[in-house]
Structure 1
Amino acid sequence: MRLGPDTLGTLPAEIAQCGYDRAGQAIGVVHFGIGAFHRAHQAWYLDRAMAAGERDWAISALTLRSPTVAEQLGPQDGLYSLTERAGAGERTRVIGAVREVLFARPDAERAIERVAAPECRIVSFTVTEKGYCRAESGGLDLERAQESFYPVLSAALAQRAARGQAGVTLLSCDNLAGNGAVLHGLVREWLAAHSPDTLAWFEANCTSPSTMVDRIVPRTTEADLQALEERLGLEDRGAVFTERFSQWVIEDDFAARRPRWEELGVQMVADVAPYEAAKLRMLNGAHSLLAYCGLRAGHTYVHEAAGDPALRQLAERLMVDEAMPTLDPAPGQDLAAYARDLLTRFADPALRHRLDQIAMDGTQKIPQRWLDTAAWHCARGQAPGAIREAFDAWCWHLADARFVDDPEAKRLVRAASGGGRQTLLDACFGGGAGAPLWPEYAHLRPLFEGRRGGS
């Protein structure tokens, strides 16, 4: 049997359930890019909010690139289980916040209706860095943006404006520096090009607060699903597995009513930047270092790389010696304790977080995870050795080519494996034919020249 409304009563007593009337909750959130992270983070918070008595925060989710999640959750009426792992223990809860999952192309009109509905107050996003379709200049690549969320969002905002409805909050939950401001600016560019009559209404009525999200969510495996089915007595194709730790920091700038998330541990703040920068440069920076250096060392999982003394020391150097000096912490933000806690989280074998999952889309992640830190040090005449070693491992990763999953993969693998180290640096920083990936970081090229491990 499959997990669903009609089979909830067969679950073992130790499996927690949401406990609220799902059918009585209006859809207040439309989410673009539903994947494992959203189900383990934002949907989990909304589920707990409704279980605590909040009303009308059910989610209509839109998957943009593949119908897989719709196929997983559709037969289960949006229900799925979330299992938190720590050490040898785990606890499972059935999440009821997701009311429907739509697939972009056939369900585009339905998604537009959901965003345009008066009940919708928040439109949230986990589309990954590449889903924002930024051009090399940092602005919007209008051609690529046609395949992302912009057409649906724009059409819905135009309907709200034409009806004189209230604005919505656009809530980016992706790992981008200043993600709220970035999203707001990109949507503004799209509207200016495709729906200029909506632009003034958007600026006057919609907000885009920045956020910082943190929870490690490994990719679910068939072995995970089989073991879970034995525990539940039911098949759950939408299950997610995560750590017990979770953090969400949100700039408190909403266009309309919001859930009382602060009662669930969410930090509502005036400025997200200190938390965001620490996460990008420390957690994400060390994660990427462990991914590329770990794969090069023959490891498969994060806990294996974090348990390798040399790599653990390298990750600690990146966080403590290189990233921390570049940060301006908020009052009460203990960065040294944060680094210690991160190393403990990375080393937990219960998560089985694959390094090749973290290694995906390196070209979209490396600037904010490594290069901003490197630029700070180079401006002071310093050479950040851990970041240089991590970059060297990324070059090996491209030349090796077994694990590469990146929008620039074809170009960079060819450069790394056939053109040599200098050709790869040309592609990244400039100096050869074609537009470089990171022209704003061209001054960092000398830092990464002359290293071993490339081709």
Structure 2
Amino acid sequence: MTIAPPRLSLATLDDLPDVVKRPSYLPDLLTQGIVHIGVGGFHRAHQAYYIDALMNQGKALDWAICGAGLRSEDRRARDDLASQDHLFTLYELGDHEDTEVRVIGALRDMLLAEDDPEALITRLASPGIRILSLTITEGGYCIDDSTGEFMAHLPAIQHDLANPGAPRTVFGFACAALQRRRAAGLPPFTVMSCDNLPHNGEVARKALLAFARLAGDTYGTGLADWIERQVAFPNAMVDRITPMTSAAHRQQLLERHGIDDAWPVVCEPFVQWVLEDNFCNGRPAWEDVGVQFTADVTPYEQMKIKLLNGSHLALTYLGFLRGYRFVHETMQDPLFVQYIRDYMKLDVLPQLAPVPGIDLAGYQDTLIQRFSNRAIADQLERVCSDGSSKFPKFTVPTINELIRSGGDLRRAALVVAAWALYLRGVDENGVAYSIPDPRADFCQGLVAEDDGLTQRLLGVVEIFGEQMPASPDFISAFEEQLHHLRAYGVESALRALVSL
């Protein structure tokens, strides 16, 4: 009879197989220096990974992470982590299948805002916390992409303005905690965005200042001015493909390595973090574990957002319509590979400035290899999610530049046409699926009828801006690609654009 291994915990660390790397530090002796809002797979495979690497060098032992969840959906994550002393396994999967298996102990607590908002405010206001880091998704900053303005009308924002002692958003929590720090004569914390946004630090700064100014004297006179003068908001480029952890991943980790982990994180071996050295209250020595510090992250983030994230969108809706469900499946299809290569080389690359230390041709080859990684089984559903928030950041800027320069619009128009058909919820094989987007009902309503679809869809300014619907050339390219997809399917549409 086989005896199941015990659940991962501090007490069972020494029982793990030798191949599993484990903390060289004592997690219980760490002190917290970071509160991170939005504990998910990416944060654990990226920021927590880098902190753990430093701690394994005997450094940054006062920079442990306290996670925080602002959504009801975060409860299961909190419970799973708490059940195993907040340890989790980082499971790298690549060409050689198991690349690295590492238990990370840098996360030492996780608070749920809806259970006790005061506890989170108190933690943020405590002197040891010097960084508030964020992965709250592209839409979490409440900035209207069409106007660049903060969306003060949103119900959650209005709630926080009316209930400063029981906030629900990152802005309410940050302002409440920063006011307490100011009143106590403490320095502020740095607000460090780790989301996939152009100039993510500037976006975080704009949103927080807008909220603080709307609040007026609610948190004390002059708080917004104090934040503007004292709080740092570094921009960052973050990169690591991190699929949703599946039951199959958990079972694989258990069978191959004897680790029973309720919520491991699965990721590719590649990892990159380019960060502006702009902190107001200290920071870990991340440069000692491979983080690249720079005075200007702009060329790196443009490279990553337009090439990686833009190419992800370019293949994901087409792949889903074709019947594929994993990224690597699309990359086994030579038509998809050539299409993505053409999109990167012909449409995106001419728009990019030189990137210090990066060979852009080699970077494109690396992306093809990463997208083709079978071992991590990255779900197309994950990449498809929140399209209404992703398009304005990842694809629309590329299309606008193609319009301005008179470039070939067909490949980029096909991306938008594929999303339009994807929103109808049925692939080419007749398989129905749900649309993982907070605005799914609205978006599906835009494409429900063929008549007037172009005007309804492209006319949504907060998604597509004003330039695309005003361009006869783009409208023509979009309608041509949409007709080709409807009439002949994904394979034919791709064959018409690529030469093999």
TM-score bucket (shorter structure): over 0.9
Amino acid in structure 2 at the alignment position of 1:64: L
| Contiguous gaps of at least 5 residues in structure 2 | 1-5, 161-167, 427-432, 488-500
1:59–1:97 contact (8 Å) kept in structure 2: yes
Match of 2:389?
364
Match of 2:316?
291
The reply on whether 1:139 has 2:149 as its aligned counterpart is yes
Instruction: State how far apart, in whole Å, the 2-side matches of 1:436 and 1:214 are.
Output: 26
How far off is 1:400 after superposition? 2.7
Instruction: State how far apart, in whole Å, the 2-side matches of 1:403 and 1:312 are.
Output: 26
Instruction: State how far apart, in whole Å, the 2-side matches of 1:310 and 1:205 are.
Output: 52
Equivalent residue for 1:21, pick from 19, 23, 26: 26
Match of 2:45?
40
The reply on whether 1:407 has 2:418 as its aligned counterpart is no
For 1:300-311, list aligned pairs within 5 A.
300-311=325-336
Match of 1:275?
300
Match of 1:153?
174
SS in structure 2 of the partner of residue 29 of structure 1: strand
How far off is 1:205 after superposition? 1.4
What TM-score, normalized to structure 1?
0.95
Q: How many residues align?
A: 450
How far off is 1:436 after superposition? 5.6
Instruction: State how far apart, in whole Å, the 1-side matches of 2:185 and 2:470 are.
Output: 49
Deviations 1:51-86 (A, max 9, x none): 112230100011122212101101111100001111
Match of 1:51?
56
What TM-score, normalized to structure 2?
0.87
Instruction: State how far apart, in whole Å, the 2-side matches of 1:223 and 1:425 are.
Output: 43
How far off is 1:312 after superposition? 0.8
Q: 1:361 to 1:340 in 2, by over 3 A?
A: same
1:395–1:454 contact (8 Å) kept in structure 2: no
1:421–1:454 contact (8 Å) kept in structure 2: no
1:116–1:160 contact (8 Å) kept in structure 2: yes
1:426–1:436 contact (8 Å) kept in structure 2: no
Deviations 1:252-298 (A, max 9, x none): 11112111111111110011010101111100011111111111111
How far off is 1:421 after superposition? 6.0
Deviations 1:178-230 (A, max 9, x none): 11101001000111112453112212211001000000011111111122123
Amino acid in structure 2 at the alignment position of 1:137: T
The reply on whether 1:115 has 2:121 as its aligned counterpart is no
Identity %: 35
Instruction: State how far apart, in whole Å, the 2-side matches of 1:425 and 1:83 are.
Output: 46
Q: Between Structure 1 and Structure 2, whose CA radius of gyration is higher?
A: 2
Match of 2:495?
none
Amino acid in structure 1 at the alignment position of 2:140: G
Q: 1:386 to 1:236 in 2, by over 3 A?
A: same
SS in structure 1 of the partner of residue 192 of structure 2: strand
The reply on whether 1:99 has 2:108 as its aligned counterpart is yes
Instruction: State how far apart, in whole Å, the 2-side matches of 1:398 and 1:390 are.
Output: 12
Instruction: State how far apart, in whole Å, the 2-side matches of 1:454 and 1:183 are.
Output: 40
Instruction: State how far apart, in whole Å, the 1-side matches of 2:434 and 2:380 are.
Output: 9
1:356–1:403 contact (8 Å) kept in structure 2: no
Instruction: State how far apart, in whole Å, the 1-side matches of 2:314 and 2:457 are.
Output: 21
Amino acid in structure 2 at the alignment position of 1:328: A
SS in structure 1 of the partner of residue 466 of structure 2: helix
Instruction: State how far apart, in whole Å, the 2-side matches of 1:110 and 1:197 are.
Output: 25
How far off is 1:238 after superposition? 1.7
Instruction: State how far apart, in whole Å, the 2-side matches of 1:63 and 1:443 are.
Output: 41
Instruction: State how far apart, in whole Å, the 2-side matches of 1:31 and 1:186 are.
Output: 17
| Contiguous gaps of at least 5 residues in structure 1 | none
For 1:422-441, list aligned pairs within 5 A.
422-423=452-453, 425-430=455-460, 437-441=463-467
> Pairwise CA RMSD of aligned residues?
1.7
SS in structure 2 of the partner of residue 400 of structure 1: coil
Q: 1:105 to 1:262 in 2, by over 3 A?
A: same
2:245–2:263 contact (8 Å) kept in structure 1: no
Instruction: State how far apart, in whole Å, the 2-side matches of 1:436 and 1:8 are.
Output: 49
